[in-house]
Amino acid sequence: AIFLTAGVALDLIPYIQLTLGPLVTLLGVLFLVQTFNVRFVFTEKNFELRTGGDGLEDARENVVVGGANVWTYDSFVNYEFFPKGWQDTPQGPILVYFKETQTPS
């Protein structure tokens, strides 16, 4: 919602409304659609990416390397939260970045 609001605000500023405003608005729309479509599922041993609204379905095959979008926690070699320190707050972090070794290069 922040990107969508910022995009609409930028759309009202002359000259910026022709360049940066539409880009930020489109990014906000993309984030809004994906918020309702993509779900992260944490099981006892795995982290999974699923799609769908109420009824979760297996996500499509990974378009980069093929195979399912499932990773074991043991394969995580590095992870970071953004902004730092927000992982213990009620709203949670905005972004969680991780590297894993399970996916073939």
Residue 53, pLDDT score:
66
Q: Mean pLDDT score of the chain, rounded to an integer?
A: 82
Does the reported pTM lie above 0.95? no
Quick one: 55 and 76 in the same domain? Answer: yes
Q: Is pLDDT at 17 greater than 70 in this prediction?
A: yes
Q: Is pLDDT at 40 greater than 90 in this prediction?
A: no
Domain range holding 66? Answer: 43-105
Q: Which helix H or strand E contains 23, and what residues bound it?
A: helix 20-37
Bond from prior residue into 83 cis (ω within 30 degrees of 0) = yes
Segment 18-42 mean pLDDT: 83
Quick one: 33 and 16 in the same domain? Answer: yes
CA–CA distance, 49 with 52 (Å, rounded to integer): 10
Quick one: 48 and 85 in the same domain? Answer: yes
Segment 7-16 mean pLDDT: 81
Residue 74, pLDDT score:
92
Quick one: 3 and 50 in the same domain? Answer: no
Answer for the pair 49, 73: CB distance below 8 angstroms, yes or no.
no
Quick one: 97 and 51 in the same domain? Answer: yes
Quick one: 16 and 57 in the same domain? Answer: no
Quick one: 29 and 5 in the same domain? Answer: yes
Count the domains in the chain.
2
